Structures are given as structure tokens and as C-alpha cells.
Amino acid sequence: MTSASGQSFSELREAVRALCATFPPEYWRNLDAERAYPEAFVRALTQAGWLSALIPDEYGGAGLGITEASVILEEVNRSGGNAGACHAQMYIMGTLLRHGSPEQKQRYLPEIASGALRLQSFAVTEPSTGSDTTKLKTTAVRKGNRYIVNGQKVWTSRVQHSDLMLLLARTTALPETKSKSDGLSVFLVDLRASIGAGIVVRPIRNMPNHETNELFFDNLEVPAYNLIGEEGKGFRYILDGMNAERILIAAECVGDGRWFLEKAATYARERVVFDRPIGQNQGVQFPLARAYVNVEAADLMRFKAAELFDRGEPCGAQANMAKLLAADASWEAANACLQTHGGFGFAAEYDVERKFRETRLYQIAPISTNLILAYIAEHVMHLPRSY
């Protein structure tokens, strides 16, 4: 099958595919069984320079756009792998790049680009406030040349495989701010110095094989020079980075969708029941064909959003729509693929149930489908705010 979108980037795709081919399905299947991190894969992707795609040349990165970055992650998922283990190394640094001081950028970006430092953790979500981010309760109080952090986060991913973490915390109490999005600040936390010295990490076993954790902050000391940008403006800074994240995750979902449909079409051509290939039945064909149409449509919106992003134009609506369409399309493809495989879809050796669990995440994280719909209703269609 070929893509209908006409967007090829064929050399880039071929190079990423060649690397991914050295990590066959058994590699991912074994990691899933052992609940292990794809260390060798992430190292190979780093050494090939793909994870530094978005870091400008002057800091040692590849200086590519979000369009190319999205193609890289799409190909990882399309190969049967899971870019969720390392995608954040590409985009979390965006907050530092856009809002960090020249000294912070010079100090950290070259080492992030080389992979000597991993910045792939971002602690936003809290257990008691969930999607209502501006109500988060973790505080950072300035004492001389340090901030003292207390509170709790949940679902903070890749902490055990990061050197640095971005942290969103409240520096001005909510009642003292003009707007609820004021008074939040972003910090770069050195995990190597902080775990066991102010941060306790408790891993959460979860549906896919995703390294994610609860974090407890007890008088964690963060040097004041690790504040990014201005105190109190952190919420705006993180919003800037969300469009990049949504476009990249949309591309991963497109990759998943294509993996499911290729796998399902191959099986449907080969599996013979009632003396004919199951794929000859319209009841088997049509769900696959419909999912194919929806993956291709989502892909167009992903490229539209990426194009706007790379031109520096507003793309909030397109990035959100791309993420919603792609997550829905990959989930539809996952269901159609599982159904096509009958009972064998449940057997781990076919990889379908693993990818099914992995792609399901994107209905919820990093933003749930309902919250995207609420964004479109309010900010694009100018309906009254619903929450």
C-alpha cells in the first residue's frame, strides 16, 4: 500500500526505516514482556542524529523542521516500534530553546543534541487536578538563590531514563494572580542531583510498556538560575510547546495506523477460512478500507499543521485537529486489525495486541480527546467555554 498524501520525504524515510529494521518485532515484543526500556534503540536513534532533529545547527542539532521530525517518529511506529519511549527528547527542549537564557541554551543544548544529556521528562499532571492544569498544587518558593519545591506529580514519563526534567510549579498562589494562567513557572531540574535528595520516584505499572512515574517533592532545592524565562509566565511557555507535541504524536498515530493496516491486509490475503481468503469478504474488507481512508485524511491534517508550524504561523487548531483525527484513525485501524486476526490477534507473537495497547494511550495523553473537542468548540467555533 502507498500513502495517498503525496508527502514522501523518501530519503529520510528510507534512512529511518533502515535503522528501525535492525530492531525487529521480537526486540519490541521481548521488551514488552520484560517491561524494559528500549535502551539500545534509543541509543541508535540518538547516534544517528534523529532525536536532535529540532535543535538548530548552532547547538549541534540537525536543524530540521517539525515536518521532518514528524516523519522520523512516524517511521518508528510504522516499523512496529514505539517512539513514545523517546519522542520527548525531540520536543521538550523547545521550551529551553524558545525561552531559556543564552547561557542556559549554550550550557545544555549541545549536550542534549549529542545525547550526552537526556531531557525527556516533563512533570505537569498532578493526581488531584488532572486536566485542570492551572490548578496544580506543586509550589516553588524562592529562598535566596534557590527555589524550594514541594508537592506531587503523576504520570511523569521517562524519569528513570532522563538526566534533566522540566517541571511546572506554582510560584504565586492562585488567589494572588490576575489570571489563573499567571503565577506558574518552568524549571529545569537536574534529576541526577535530585532523585533521593528531594524527589522520590515511584514507578507506575501501566497498560503499554511505558516508563512513567509518580513523583513526590519534599523540599527539593532548585538553583534559581534553572528557572526558564520569567517567573510566573511558565504556563504560556508550555502552551508554545504543545503544538509541536501534538503534531509529532499525530504522526506517530499515522505510523501506527499504517502498521495495523499493512499487517491486517497481509493477514486477510493469506488466511483462508471457508475455502477462501477472509479478505475476500466485504465484512472484513470494509472496516479496513474505512480505517485506511481515515488514516490518510488524518495524515493530510498532520502535514497541514506541520507546514504552518514550520512557517511560524498559528497552528493551534490544526495541531489539535491532527492529533484528534490521527488518534481516532489509529484506534480504528487497531480495532479493525485485531478483528481481522480473529483469536490470533490476542497472541503476543503477532504484535497486534501490543500495538493495540500502545496506540490506545493517545486518546488520553498528552491531552484527552474531550479536551481537544472543548478547545475546538471554544477557540475555533467561538462557543461558550464549557468548563
CB of 370 to ligand FAD, least distance (A): 3
Q: DSSP string spanning 224-235?
A: GGGEESSTTBHH
Chain mean position to CA 158? 11
> Which is closer to ligand FAD, CB of 339 or CB of 368?
368
φ and ψ at residue 168, rounded to 5 degrees: -105, 120
Amino acid at 84: G
Q: Is 125 or 320 the residue whose CB approaches ligand FAD more closely?
A: 125
Task: Enumerate residues 6+ apart whose C-beta is below 8 A from 64.
Answer: 53, 54
Residue whose CB is less far from ligand FAD, 195 or 371: 371
Give the nearer residue to ligand FAD in terms of CB position, either 246 or 341. 246
Cell of 229: 524565562
Q: Is 112 helix (H, G, I), strand (E, B) or coil?
A: helix
Q: Letter for the amino acid at 139?
A: T
- In the structure grid, which three cell numbers stand for residue 274, read together? 471457508
**Inter-helix orientation angle 282-310/234-270, to 10°:** 150
Q: Which is nearer to ligand FAD, 332 or 358 (CB)?
A: 358
Residue number of the CB closest to ligand FAD reads 130
Helix 66-78 and helix 234-270: axis angle, to 10°?
A: 40
Rule CB under 6 A: which residues touch ligand FAD? 122-125, 130-131, 155-157, 206, 210, 212, 361, 364-368, 370-371, 374, 387
Cβ of residue 131: shortest distance to ligand FAD, in angstroms?
3
Q: Closer CB to ligand FAD, residue 72 or residue 361?
A: 361
Compute the least distance from the CB of residue 160 to ligand FAD, in Å: 12
Alpha-carbon distance of 22 to 92, in angstroms, equals 27
Q: How far is the CB of 189 from ligand FAD (least distance, A)?
A: 13
Q: How far is the CB of 298 from ligand FAD (least distance, A)?
A: 19
State the nearest-atom distance from the C-beta of 110 to ligand FAD, in Å: 24
CB 51 within 8 A of CB 68: no
Give the shortest CB-201-to-ligand FAD separation in angstroms. Answer: 13
Nearer to ligand FAD, 71 or 123 (CB): 123
Cα torsion 181, 184, 188, 194: sign:
negative
